[in-house]
Chain A
Amino acid sequence: MIENSKDQFPKTASGINGLDEIMMGGFPAGRPVLICGGAGCGKTLFGVQFLVNGILNHDEPGVFMSFEETAKDLSMNVKSLGFDLDELQESGKLKVDHVRIERSEIEETGEFDLEAIFIRLNHAIDSVGAKRVVLDTVEALFGGIENDGILRAELRRLFSWLKEKGVTTVITGERGKQSFTRQGLEEYVSDCVILLDFRVIDQIATRRLRIVKYRGSMHGTNEYPFLINEDGISVIPVTSLNLTYGSSREIVSTGLTQLDDSLDHGGFYRGSSTLITGSAGTSKTIMAAHFAMASIARQEPVLYFSFEESPDQLVRNMESIGIDFKPHLDSGLLQIKASRPSLQGLEMHLIRFYNAVEELKPRTVIVDPISSLITIGSSSEVRAMLIRLLDTLKNKQINAVFTALTQANFKDKGDLTVEAISSLSDAWIDLNNNRKNRRQHRTMRIVKARGMGHNPEAQEFMITDNGFRFTIPTEHMTDTTN
């Protein structure tokens, strides 16, 4: 929930990952929300997730009134996403009512009203004690009832009745050509309107969501990508868009004594982000592994995203230089998530990234390398999204380490990856690998370290059986390298 929410009307959790942050707390409690979008954009699922999570996480029973799918079809269709509607119905927390309207068997003559829908809804709400209601898709009524005038008047009455009843209602509507919904439902539900969109960009299917209107409340105004995966719907960015996170004064070790000694405070601040750049073969992964081991030594869980090596390969390679990941993998203190960047769209990666952070609650996150993620999404919009996601880590006071591959002749500027992340990261370490006099010269240079003085000199190191070993001791140097 958002800090200044006391000034606002009550809100209720939407049950959609990441949406509450954009809506500054969630749906308006006890009021209707209109979800509109074209066919297949996830409207029904949106409604189901709102209900199911309301039941499971907030003990708010729900009613799903379907005007299209039968109760059986509905529960089958959402089963693959892990929602068991049958079980919830049996436990008396959910009521699914299918309103079937068959034009061919109905004749109209004279005055009528839709009181029977009110009665059915009221009966369903009372039978489970519902706090949440979904009407999916109420526009189907327009196909079954000739008298448009009565229908519109009745819908207006229905929505205000639901408001009086004090239930939070999600109403889905089919996207129209000129208006948000085909039948102009937005005229009747004017408190909160959310637009879902499904389109293909660069041959990648993307789903997007926009809050068109949210009366009386602040909200994010961008188009936010969302995903439908085995956890249901998740919206990114999953972070509040401000810079209000606290800044820790606690210092944590980098795992490298020489590097700690090159920083005035003997390490980096907790919750800071560190960028490690370098061309191919400059030991970026090894340095990241040292950071990981330092976190493990503090008994703080590490989440390692590997986009180039499989977990096995990473473990084997680190073992060869004396860094033993294996016992920590077994104890769960270290988790490695490996995947090929090109396998999924950037958005999918970001969601998985976020979900893993939520689930495993690491204190240190390593992304190796982050540059490969950036290459799969090209637009600046996508890069901005990534940056917001990295902000999430900071909000949670998680130490972040990103490695980024740069060109060999790279000179601090002109590299897209580095430009995107360097301004965001608190510290920047550049690794270098030169051949001089038939000898490998590996050097490390602290390009920047926010909030603390540091040694700006390039320092030479070697990779030994025990990982990093600095070869030119400074006056602070202790006996770590025998």
Chain B
Amino acid sequence: MKKEKKWELRLYIAGQTPKSIVAFENITKYCKKHLTDNYNIEIVDLLENPQLAEGDQIFAIPTLVRRVPEPLRKIIGDLSNEEKVLVGLNIRPLDK
């Protein structure tokens, strides 16, 4: 994979719920696998910062937002389907 701009992802959660934990584990796993170190995951807990929900138009929990590279993409759910997440984020798998 060419050295590209760092991927900036943001995971919106509302407290440490099982769904949020699963989502975080999943996205960390996919990133390690396909983006090596070229990523950054920021976690935003809306219970602590409710005013942040409006800015990124968040309505579901958990929501993963791809901020960089543009355009903005959103994936809602616990991210259990790897294929869908990779397609949604437009990450090409390294192998194959």
**How many Å from the CB of A145 to the closest CB on chain B?**
7
Contact with A along B73-91 (1 / 0, CB 8 A): 1111111110011011000
Set of chain A residues within 8 Å of B62, measured between Cβ atoms: 112
Residues of A contacting B88 in the complex (Cβ-Cβ under 8 angstroms) = 107, 109
CA distance A471 to B54 in the complex (A): 82
Chain B 57-77 per-residue mask, 1 if CB under 8 angstroms from chain A, else 0: 111111100000001111111
- Cβ-defined partner of A109 (8 Å) among B47, B59, B81: B81
Asked if B12 is an interface residue, CB under 8 A from chain A, the answer is: yes
Checking B47, B54, B60, B80 against A114 with a beta-carbon cut-off of 8 angstroms, the contacting residue is B60
A356: CB under 8 A from chain B?
A: no
The interface size of chain A toward B, counting residues with CB under 8 Å, comes to 24
Q: Contacting chain B: which of A115-123, A243-251, A454-462? A: A115-123
Q: Let me know if B19 and A108 touch, CB within 8 A.
A: no
Q: Is the CB of A123 within 8 A of B80?
A: no
Q: How many residues of B contact A (CB 8 A)?
A: 33
B23: chain A residues at CB < 8 Å are 110
A123 and B53 contacting across the interface, CB-CB below 8 Å: yes
Interchain CB contact under 8 A, A119 and B14: yes
Q: Mask for A20-63, Cβ within 8 A of B = 1, else 0?
A: 00000000000000000000000000000000000000000000
What distance in Å separates the Cβ of A165 from its nearest Cβ neighbour in chain B? 15
Find out whether the CB atom of B73 lies under 8 angstroms from the CB atom of A105. yes
Q: Does any Cβ of B come within 8 Å of A294's Cβ?
A: no
Given contacts A105-B74, A107-B87, A119-B53, whether A112 and B81 have CB atoms under 8 Å apart is no
Using CB atoms and an 8 Å cutoff, list the residues of chain B in contact with chain A: 12, 14, 19, 22-23, 46-47, 50-51, 53-54, 57-63, 71-81, 84-85, 87-88
Give 15 CB contacts A-B under 8 Å: A105-B73, A106-B75, A107-B85, A107-B87, A108-B75, A110-B80, A112-B60, A112-B62, A112-B77, A113-B19, A114-B61, A116-B12, A116-B59, A119-B47, A123-B53
